[in-house]
């Protein structure tokens, strides 16, 4: 879950009523135009699917070294969404609203303690629940990333994740810190529990079996993107747990050794039941403070090309501790510098599994939201914001206010975007003041035959939008299921052509 200050003495800190028009190159008059009916979305509460289906089957690496998801048509996919399921029961309404708001991804938090509350006895009711959630996601065409979640190891320490029966403390003390839950990670009992989880053969085997059980239960769902193998990994910190140098040394040793070995075991466990799901590895939380990961590369035993990805989190320590964000701390610049080398070296798509401040009503935190969305457009293949819930005035980490509107300051996460691009994505922007969305792309071999999808949610275009295309010759623009999407195809675009797609308020 969210990063807190105790680990960070470091301070390093995604039809019917709107005119949609296609235009030719900007230098001359339109070479073709088409108008269709399209309406603002109804949050899919009629129970119908809300988006054209786009499922990652491969990757492509752009000239700047960034690796994107691609579908069977070769389109670049850019899933965006929210986290869900940590402490609440996911309902069909959750998936309907999420899809209706233009999102195409949910990071579904699950815990080993719920899968196997008693050793060797799986909770069939919980497994059926997970299967239902993915069935709803199939219906609403939302991708699901299963997040094997833990916070401070598990319920033995008042948190969640690893079952109590799999918690071994060697009798060491545990004194919780009521003011800073993350500090609990440094308690001797918690450090011992992580060591045993990584090292004890019987716990290793039990963890592998639980992962294989869930993979066998959920395989075959079209909505299943894959698995985030271990949320915010942690481990023993020899020496002084509050010393930054000791933290960095311990993190590097964990990533190179025990954690890497765990990931290899869990990759094998999922692959024993499901050859197709994507598998994501996470670094330790120090990446959020500008410390590059020391994880090695991993082998995917599936037939054909690998389906592996990198799923870091994107949190600012000071903001997590209650401060209003201060750009002078250069958090974003340090994070981007730390995040780049590993996925570029191993050609992995980056999916930011968690991000977002506790609240964005203050000027600095609202600015942080805007800048993080722009930042992730520059290095990631997709993201999931923390968290899909409602609160008065958008308090806490909730993405929505009590009435189901975007929480104050968090509106940029609900902005229009392109979930699928037939070509190489370029710059993307949305200007709330003028309600204007712009996407640039470079045409490639997919551009003439495949559709680029635009998510144009009612939060941005409550009365619909007009879509224009410049730089590609004749274009076809149509609505999509009355769901707040438009589809654009460019049958005359030559590879290498720069294309500009603009959606503006009607």
Mean pLDDT estimate for the chain: 89
What order do you get walking across the sheet with 476-480 strand by strand?
Answer: 58-61, 67-70, 76-77, 417-421, 452-455, 485-489, 476-480
Half-sphere exposure of 11 (CA within 13 A, CB side): 9
273 closest CA partner among 215, 211, 224? 215
DSSP H/E element including 107: strand 105-110
Split at pLDDT 50, 70, 90, the class of 459 is confident
Read off the CATH number of the domain in which 491 is found.
Answer: 3.20.20.80
Which domain does 149 fall in, by range? 5-505
133 closest CA partner among 146, 122, 123, 121? 146
- Looking at the DSSP bridge assignments, the partners of residue 468 are 502
Please tell me the distance from the alpha carbon of residue 98 to that of residue 106, in angstroms, as a whole number. Answer: 8
pLDDT over threshold 80, residue 377? yes
Split at pLDDT 50, 70, 90, the class of 26 is very low
**Cβ atoms within 10 A of the Cβ of 403, count?**
7
- Looking at the DSSP bridge assignments, the partners of residue 480 are 485
- The 3-class SS string of 207-261 reads HHHHHHHHHHHHCCCCCEEEEECCCCCCCCCCCCCCCHHHHHHHHHHHHHCHHHH
Cβ-based burial of 450 (10 A; exposed 0-12, middle 13-18, buried ≥19):
buried
How many independent structural domains does the chain possess? 1
- Looking at the DSSP bridge assignments, the partners of residue 36 are none
Split at pLDDT 50, 70, 90, the class of 113 is very high
388 closest CA partner among 60, 117, 50, 144? 144
Lowest mean pLDDT among 45-49, 51-55, 179-183: 45-49
pLDDT over threshold 80, residue 46? no
**Phi, psi (degrees; rounded to nearest 5) at 378:** -85, -20
* Tokens linked to 427: 């710059």
Please tell me the distance from the alpha carbon of residue 229 to that of residue 271, in angstroms, as a whole number. Answer: 12
pLDDT over threshold 60, residue 13? no
Lowest mean pLDDT among 5-14, 71-80, 123-132, 312-321: 5-14
What pLDDT is attached to residue 423?
A: 97
pLDDT over threshold 60, residue 29? no
For the chain, percent of residues with pLDDT exceeding 90 = 81
Buried b (16+ CB within 10 A) or exposed e, 80-115: bbbbbbbeeebebebbbbbbbbbbbbbbbbbbbbbb
DSSP one-letter string for 306-350: --EEE--EE--HHHHTTPPP-GGG-HHHHHHHHHSHHHHHHT--B
pLDDT over threshold 60, residue 164? yes
Q: pLDDT per residue over 467-504, tens digit each?
A: 999 999 899 998 744 458 899 999 999 999 999 999 99
Mean pLDDT of 45-70: 76
Split at pLDDT 50, 70, 90, the class of 66 is very high
Mean pLDDT of 454-465: 88
What pLDDT is attached to residue 32?
A: 31
Do the beta carbons of residue 500 and residue 471 sit within 8 Å? yes
**C-alpha separations of 470 from 26, 128, 432, 442 in Å:** 5, 49, 21, 12
Q: pLDDT per residue over 218-277, tens digit each?
A: 999 999 999 999 999 999 999 888 899 999 999 999 999 999 999 999 999 999 999 999
Q: pLDDT per residue over 131-144, tens digit each?
A: 999 999 999 999 99
What pLDDT is attached to residue 281?
A: 98
pLDDT over threshold 80, residue 157? yes
Q: Residues with Cβ < 8 Å from 429, sequence gap 6 or more?
A: 437, 438
Split at pLDDT 50, 70, 90, the class of 54 is confident
What pLDDT is attached to residue 452?
A: 97
Mean pLDDT of 317-331: 95
Prediction pTM value: 0.91
Split at pLDDT 50, 70, 90, the class of 382 is very high
pLDDT over threshold 80, residue 12? no
Please tell me the distance from the alpha carbon of residue 492 to that of residue 474, in angstroms, as a whole number. Answer: 6
Q: pLDDT per residue over 172-201, tens digit each?
A: 999 999 988 889 999 999 999 999 999 999
447 closest CA partner among 12, 20, 74, 68? 74
**C-alpha separations of 270 from 221, 226, 263 in Å:** 15, 10, 11
Please tell me the distance from the alpha carbon of residue 361 to that of residue 324, in angstroms, as a whole number. Answer: 9
Half-sphere exposure of 310 (CA within 13 A, CB side): 30
What pLDDT is attached to residue 223?
A: 98
400 closest CA partner among 16, 408, 119? 408
What pLDDT is attached to residue 52?
A: 55
Please tell me the distance from the alpha carbon of residue 52 to that of residue 370, in angstroms, as a whole number. Answer: 27
């Amino acid at each position: 879950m969210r990063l807190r200050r105790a680990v960070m003495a470091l301070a390093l800190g995604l039809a019917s009523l709107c005119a949609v028009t296609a235009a030719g190159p900007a230098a001359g008059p339109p070479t073709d135009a088409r108008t269709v009916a399209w309406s603002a979305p109804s949050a899919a509460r009629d129970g119908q699917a809300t988006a054209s289906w786009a499922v990652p089957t491969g990757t492509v690496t752009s000239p700047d070294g960034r690796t994107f998801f691609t579908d069977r048509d070769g389109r670049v996919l850019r899933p965006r969404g929210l986290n869900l399921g940590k402490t609440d029961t996911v309902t069909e309404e959750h998936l309907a609203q999420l899809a209706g708001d233009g999102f195409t991804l949910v990071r579904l938090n699950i815990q080993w303690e719920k899968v196997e509350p008693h050793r060797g006895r799986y909770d069939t009711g919980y497994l059926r629940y997970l299967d239902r959630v993915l069935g709803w996601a199939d219906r609403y065409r939302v991708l699901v990333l299963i997040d094997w979640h833990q916070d401070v190891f598990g319920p033995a320490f008042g948190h969640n994740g690893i079952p109590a029966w799999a918690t071994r403390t060697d009798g060491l003390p545990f004194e919780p810190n009521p003011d800073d839950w993350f500090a609990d990670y440094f308690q001797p009992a918690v450090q011992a529990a992580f060591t045993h989880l990584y090292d004890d053969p019987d716990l290793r085997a039990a963890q592998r079996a639980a992962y294989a059980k869930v993979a066998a239960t959920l395989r075959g769902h079209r909505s299943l993107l894959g698995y985030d193998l271990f949320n915010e990994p942690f481990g023993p910190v020899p020496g002084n747990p509050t010393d930054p140098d000791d933290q960095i040394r311990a993190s590097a040793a964990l990533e190179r050794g025990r954690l890497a070995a765990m990931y290899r075991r869990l990759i094998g466990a999922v692959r024993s039941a499901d050859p197709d799901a994507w598998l994501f590895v996470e670094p330790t939380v120090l990446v959020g403070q500008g410390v590059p990961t020391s994880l090695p590369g991993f082998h995917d035993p599936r037939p054909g090309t690998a389906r592996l990805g990198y799923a870091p989190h994107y949190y600012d320590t000071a903001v997590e501790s209650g401060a209003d964000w201060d750009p002078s701390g250069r958090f974003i610049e340090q994070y981007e510098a730390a995040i780049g080398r590993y996925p570029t070296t191993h050609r992995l798509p980056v999916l930011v599994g968690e991000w977002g401040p506790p609240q964005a009503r203050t000027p600095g935190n609202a600015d942080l939201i805007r800048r993080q969305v722009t930042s992730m457009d520059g290095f990631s293949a997709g993201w999931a914001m923390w968290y899909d819930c409602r609160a008065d005035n958008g308090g806490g980490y909730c993405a929505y206010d009590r009435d189901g509107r975007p929480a104050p300051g968090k509106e940029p996460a609900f902005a229009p975007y392109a979930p699928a691009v037939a070509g190489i994505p370029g710059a993307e922007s949305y200007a709330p003041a003028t309600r204007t969305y712009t996407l640039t792309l470079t045409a490639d071999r997919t551009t003439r035959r495949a559709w680029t999808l635009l998510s144009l949610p009612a939060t941005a275009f409550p009365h619909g939008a007009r879509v224009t295309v410049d730089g590609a010759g004749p274009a076809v623009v149509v609505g999509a299921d009355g769901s707040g999407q438009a589809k654009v195809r460019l049958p005359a675009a030559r590879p290498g052509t720069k294309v500009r797609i603009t959606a503006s308020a009607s």
